[in-house]
């Protein structure tokens, strides 16, 4: 460990210096105290090891006041920046605390003031009769002493502090709407100040410094430096040009490497700056080389000027594990599979967004265990090019039945999996197979190497615009680009459009040191959303991004454009979309849909976007501006996941008790022993669940009118969840994504297995699985299915398999196993439920046989075929749904556990409803969740020529064929745990 010399023969260089001296010795403490009082005092040099310096930093945390967050995941160098929550007052006997200062010594570790425009700094302090000053130091020498901020190069008097912020500032920064406005002198040349360490301090009328803090700069950077020109590497016939937006950087160099294996750069190029954009030009033969930037910039997490080595945020190629950026021209013909430029004309046709149905799949899950795939292709992009593999044959069956879009979990460059496969660690599969189904040994073996194997879902973004290297045959060079395109092309040719899972709401790393940190090294404090103390928000997991800032939004839009135009993908699913601003999503939709075959090689009007519209964290209730939450997106045509139909169908929520039952899983009708309340409460709960499901099946439209369980006509928005939130939020059907399971939380089969009685036959659980998927398949809106729902997929009841390896995430397209009973799921997320899980895994009756899996696949395919047999299941407007969709078996006298839905078409040339279906004039769907057969009679549905749907007449399911309809009485008979579809054919 090297040593660092701390000294000050000039004005004391940092408040951090004085704090370190207090921790060393009484004499050093005295010297530091003197230095803060008289900045010309010479301090005797003291030699401190880096290791000891870090220890001192930890001790100094004791002096900090509590922050607004209990834990802060910060990256910090040896500057002494606090790493985690401290406590008031010293708690270590190693310290002799200094006299109480007027302001905190570590005040500059906080950034509680906001430079929101060229002329305004916002701060939540009262100016009173005192003065306020702005300070800057190009060498980051600011520190806080008893008499204020010292070590500055620039000191500027600010005016005001006695009035609030103007409305335009409040609209951009609603979380600081109550702050005071301090005015920056209008003739001040502020641009150069942003390359400095900045602080602001306020003084009382008697000249004492009462408060000091650092500043947050995104507002003024947006106003002065927003930029629409080229960024990244731009190729022309003669040259390669580099552009980097970095308005706070003091210097930027590009280090060019001829080969990824070389440690010494071929060239070091100094970039020139114009209005915050750094650029350089090089010869055309740079193509194929690698580069990184060296950015010299002040970083608020370390309070120092840092030299950060970083990839280009607009990288389009990388070396393995993102060590360097590849200079690659995506328009090069050698990177295009044969026929690539014609792919837009070969894509499977989708007439309307209302015709979409989505199948969610992880790239590695698809083929890692498929032995019909070439060994070199398993777990990667090229597995999708194996036309006759078991997995591709399965996908073709789904496509033929009606699935239109394949949603791929993250495929950009993410952390958590080494790109180079030879570095992966593996567990002996034969050993895992030999262990008992309820053993904890499997998970112990898997978790021991979980960060060194080839598995991770990929929600750890490093660089958004480059395909993940671990899925390619070679992570170096342009191989990943070519193979990704081959995958998209192969899936399109198999009848499936491709949706990418994009994660713009957070980044894996931050700070100047982490190898996976990119954006926060280039413009520190800008790309990541910070709280009012200046520390990074982590409500999405870690390092929340701030799309309310102009250049963050631009990066997101540019990235989407690249994936759409250069990789010809057909849709985007936004992870935690509610943490992105609504205006960003609306701009994204508009931009994508403006793309054309002539100009961009793609038909943008067919690109669909949707995401998770959850409203929580610092963005909740529009805390950072109008965010892309479920309710805010109404009327935009952007889809969001409908958790209401999921929770009502299965019971509870992913955050509730695992035994909470729902409509499909036996609530009231087959109690599992969990205390749901008295009989009246449970009956009420089941009735409420039915209403929630019916609203969801009507595309979760807020204005859809139905007869509630109380017998009242209500709109979807008037049906409320348990916490008083409206169930319905959509204005058009394509704004609703209906689902009962996804990659998050337990699989559908595992949830059913947890919530049902222990001693019911396996066939009954399978039928509940069918019932749940049929509700999604036959609902208005867009149906969404987790890969394996149709195969009774199990993850051995793992509730969060993001890092549980291939073992717990296996898919078997041979239908021999559904992966139930492969050991207790990983301890970290599941241990508290082990007592519930273990006896179920140990019971052999829970494990489905191959015949059950095959039947489930056939059942799933049949409901897809039924959905696409009539446009009545895929109505395009809210008015059409209100006019044609009706629910029966409603009101107080309803038959518990039964939902009856009808859809009506018109007749050509007859007044009233128009005709949209040339096969069926009327359809009735009955969902019977009861463990017994039911009869339902409706005078309204009497005397119709209804018969069992032709698909069900030919079904392998002999039970559904027992369904009956008597026209004379209007009586329907439906077997237990069965969804039956009756149709009235136009030909009689």
Active site residues: 575, 612
Q: What is the dihedral of CA 185, 190, 196, 202, to 10 degrees?
A: 20
Label residue 832 exposed, middle or buried (CB < 10 Å: 0-12, 13-18, 19+).
Answer: exposed
The answer for residues whose C-beta is within 8 angstroms of residue 830's C-beta and 6 or more apart is 797, 798, 799, 800, 824, 837
How are beta strands 608-611 and 639-642 bridged, if at all? parallel
Q: Torsions phi, psi of 974, nearest 5?
A: -130, 130
Count other Cβ atoms within 10 Å, centred on residue 561: 17
Q: How far is residue 690 from each of residues 624, 658, 667, 797, measured CA to CA in Å?
A: 36, 20, 11, 26
User: At how many degrees (to 10) do helices 748-755 and 762-777 cross?
Assistant: 130
How many Cα atoms occupy the beta-carbon half-sphere of 73 within 13 Å?
Answer: 15
Pairwise CA distance, residues 869 & 886, whole Å: 19
Q: How many helices (H) and strands (E) does the chain have?
A: 24, 40
**String of b and e for 50-75 (b: at least 16 CB within 10 Å)?**
eebbeebbebbbbbbeebebeebbeb
**String of b and e for 816-830 (b: at least 16 CB within 10 Å)?**
ebbbbbbbbbbeeeb
Pair of tokens at residue 20: 């370190």
Pairwise CA distance, residues 633 & 588, whole Å: 13
Strand partners, 780: 698
- Measured in Å, how far apart are the chain's first and last C-alpha atoms? 88
Pairwise CA distance, residues 526 & 544, whole Å: 11
The answer for residues whose C-beta is within 8 angstroms of residue 684's C-beta and 6 or more apart is none
Pairwise CA distance, residues 110 & 723, whole Å: 37
Q: How far is residue 833 from each of residues 677, 797, 806, 826, measured CA to CA in Å?
A: 22, 9, 22, 11
Contact of 812 with 818, CB cutoff 8 Å: yes
Measuring CA to CA, which residue among 504, 461, 734, 744 is closest to residue 609? 734
Measuring CA to CA, which residue among 675, 661, 484 is closest to residue 566? 484
Task: Return the H-helix or E-strand segment holding 250.
Answer: strand 249-257
Contact of 114 with 178, CB cutoff 8 Å: no
Q: Residue 891 region, left (φ>0) first, then alpha (ψ -120 to 50), else beta? A: left
How are beta strands 497-502 and 736-738 bridged, if at all? unpaired
Q: Compute the chain's Rg from CA coordinates.
A: 31
How many Cα atoms occupy the beta-carbon half-sphere of 404 within 13 Å?
Answer: 22
Contact of 160 with 128, CB cutoff 8 Å: no
Pairwise CA distance, residues 300 & 303, whole Å: 5
Pair of tokens at residue 530: 């910070």
Pairwise CA distance, residues 805 & 808, whole Å: 6
Measuring CA to CA, which residue among 738, 748, 730 is closest to residue 789? 748
Pairwise CA distance, residues 507 & 518, whole Å: 9
Strand partners, 337: none
Label residue 150 exposed, middle or buried (CB < 10 Å: 0-12, 13-18, 19+).
Answer: buried
Strand partners, 298: 305
How many Cα atoms occupy the beta-carbon half-sphere of 784 within 13 Å?
Answer: 30
């Amino acid at each position: 460990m090297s040593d660092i010399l701390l000294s000050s023969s000039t004005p004391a260089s940092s408040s951090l210096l004085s704090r370190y001296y207090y921790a060393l010795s009484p004499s050093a403490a005295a010297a530091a105290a003197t230095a803060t009082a008289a900045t010309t005092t010479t301090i005797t040099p003291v030699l401190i090891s880096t290791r000891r310096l870090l220890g001192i930093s930890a001790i100094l945390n004791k002096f900090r006041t509590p922050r607004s967050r209990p834990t802060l995941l910060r990256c910090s160098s040896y500057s002494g920046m606090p790493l985690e929550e401290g406590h008031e007052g010293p708690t270590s006997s190693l310290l002799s605390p200094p006299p109480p200062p007027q302001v905190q010594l570590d005040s500059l570790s906080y950034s509680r003031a906001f430079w929101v425009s060229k002329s305004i700094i916002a701060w939540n302090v009262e100016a009173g009769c005192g003065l306020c000053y702005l300070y800057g130091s190009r060498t980051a020498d600011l520190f806080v002493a008893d008499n204020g901020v010292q070590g500055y190069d620039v000191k500027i008097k600010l005016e005001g502090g006695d009035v609030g912020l103007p409305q335009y500032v409040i609209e951009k920064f609603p979380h600081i709407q109550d702050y005071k406005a301090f005015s920056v002198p209008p003739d001040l040349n502020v641009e150069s100040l942003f390359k400095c360490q900045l602080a602001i301090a306020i003084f009382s009328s008697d000249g004492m410094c009462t408060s000091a803090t650092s500043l947050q700069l995104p507002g003024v950077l947006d106003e002065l430096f927003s930029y629409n020109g080229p960024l990244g590497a731009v190729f022309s016939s003669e040259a390669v040009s580099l552009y980097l937006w970095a308005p706070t950087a003091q210097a930027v160099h590009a280090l060019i490497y001829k080969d990824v294996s070389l440690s010494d750069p071929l060239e070091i190029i100094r970039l020139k700056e114009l209005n915050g954009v750094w650029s350089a030009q090089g010869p055309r033969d740079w193509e194929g080389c690698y580069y990184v930037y060296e950015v010299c910039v002040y970083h608020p997490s370390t309070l120092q000027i840092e030299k950060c080595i970083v990839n280009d945020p607009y990288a389009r190629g990388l070396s393995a594990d993102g060590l360097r950026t590849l200079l690659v021209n995506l328009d090069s013909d050698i990177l295009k599979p044969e026929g690539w430029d014609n792919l837009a004309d070969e894509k499977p046709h989708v007439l309307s967004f209302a015709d979409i149905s989505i199948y969610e799949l992880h790239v590695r899950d698809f083929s890692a265990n498929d032995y019909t795939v070439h060994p070199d292709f398993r777990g990667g992009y090229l597995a999708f090019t194996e036309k006759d593999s078991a997995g591709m044959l399965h996908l073709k069956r789904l496509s033929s039945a009606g699935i239109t879009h394949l949603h791929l979990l993250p495929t950009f460059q993410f952390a958590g999996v080494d790109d180079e496969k030879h570095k992966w660690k593996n567990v002996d599969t034969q050993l895992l197979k030999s262990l008992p189904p309820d053993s904890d040994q499997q998970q112990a073996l898997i978790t021991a190497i979980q960060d060194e194997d080839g598995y991770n879902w990929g929600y750890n973004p490093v660089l958004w615009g480059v395909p993940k290297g671990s899925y390619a045959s070679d992570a170096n060079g342009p191989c990943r680009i070519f193979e990704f395109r081959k995958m998209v092309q192969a899936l399109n040719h198999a009848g499936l459009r491709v949706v990418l899972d994009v994660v713009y709401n957070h980044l894996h790393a931050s700070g100047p040191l982490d190898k996976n940190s990119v954006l926060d090294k280039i413009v520190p404090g800008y790309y990541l959303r910070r709280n009012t103390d200046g520390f990074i928000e982590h409500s999405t997991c870690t390092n929340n991004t701030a799309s309310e800032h102009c250049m963050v939004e631009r990066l997101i839009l540019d990235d989407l454009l690249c994936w759409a135009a250069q990789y010809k993908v057909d849709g985007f699913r936004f992870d935690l979309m509610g943490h992105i601003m609504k205006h960003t999503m609306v701009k994204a939709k508009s931009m994508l849909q403006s793309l054309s075959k002539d100009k961009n090689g793609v038909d943008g009007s067919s690109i669909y976007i949707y995401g998770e519209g959850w409203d929580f964290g610092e963005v909740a209730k529009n805390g950072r501006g109008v965010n892309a939450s479920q309710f805010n997106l109404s009327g935009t045509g952007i889809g969001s996941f409908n958790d209401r139909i999921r929770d009502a169908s299965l019971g509870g929520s992913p955050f509730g008790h695992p035994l909470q039952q729902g409509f499909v899983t036996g609530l009231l009708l087959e109690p599992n022993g969990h205390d749901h309340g008295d009989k009246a409460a449970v009956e009420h709960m089941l009735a409420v669940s039915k209403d929630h499901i019916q609203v969801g099946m009507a595309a979760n439209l807020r204005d859809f009118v139905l007869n509630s369980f109380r017998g009242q006509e209500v709109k979807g928005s008037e049906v409320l969840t348990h916490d008083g939130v409206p169930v319905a939020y959509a204005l058009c059907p394509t704004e609703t994504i209906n689902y009962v399971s996804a990659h998050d939380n337990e699989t559908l089969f595992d949830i059913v297995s947890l919530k049902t009685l222990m001693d019911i036959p396996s066939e009954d659980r399978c039928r509940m699985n069918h019932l749940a998927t049929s509700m999604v398949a036959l609902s208005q809106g867009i149906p969404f299915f987790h890969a394996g729902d149709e195969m009774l997929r199990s993850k051995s009841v793992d509730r969060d398999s993001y890092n549980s390896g291939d073992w717990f995430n296996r898919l078997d397209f041979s239908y021999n196993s559904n992966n139930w009973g492969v050991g207790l799921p990983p301890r970290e997320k599941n241990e508290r439920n082990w007592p519930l899980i273990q006896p179920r895994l140990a019971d052999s009756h829970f494990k489905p046989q191959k015949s059950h899996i095959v039947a489930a696949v056939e059942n799933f395919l049949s409901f897809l075929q039924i959905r696409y047999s009539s446009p009545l299941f895929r109505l395009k407007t809210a008015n059409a749904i209100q006019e044609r969709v009706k629910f029966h078996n409603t009101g107080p006298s309803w038959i518990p556990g039964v939902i009856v839905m009808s859809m009506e078409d018109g007749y050509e040339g007859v007044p009233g409803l128009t005709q949209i279906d040339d096969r069926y004039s009327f359809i009735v769907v009955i969902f019977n969740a009861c463990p017994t057969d039911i009869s339902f009679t409706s005078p309204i549905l009497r005397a119709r020529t209804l018969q069992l749907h032709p698909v069900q007449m030919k079904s392998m399911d002999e039970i559904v064929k027992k369904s009956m309809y008597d026209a004379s009485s209007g009586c329907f008979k439906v077997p237990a745990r069965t969804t039956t579809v009756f149709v009235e054919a136009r030909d009689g």
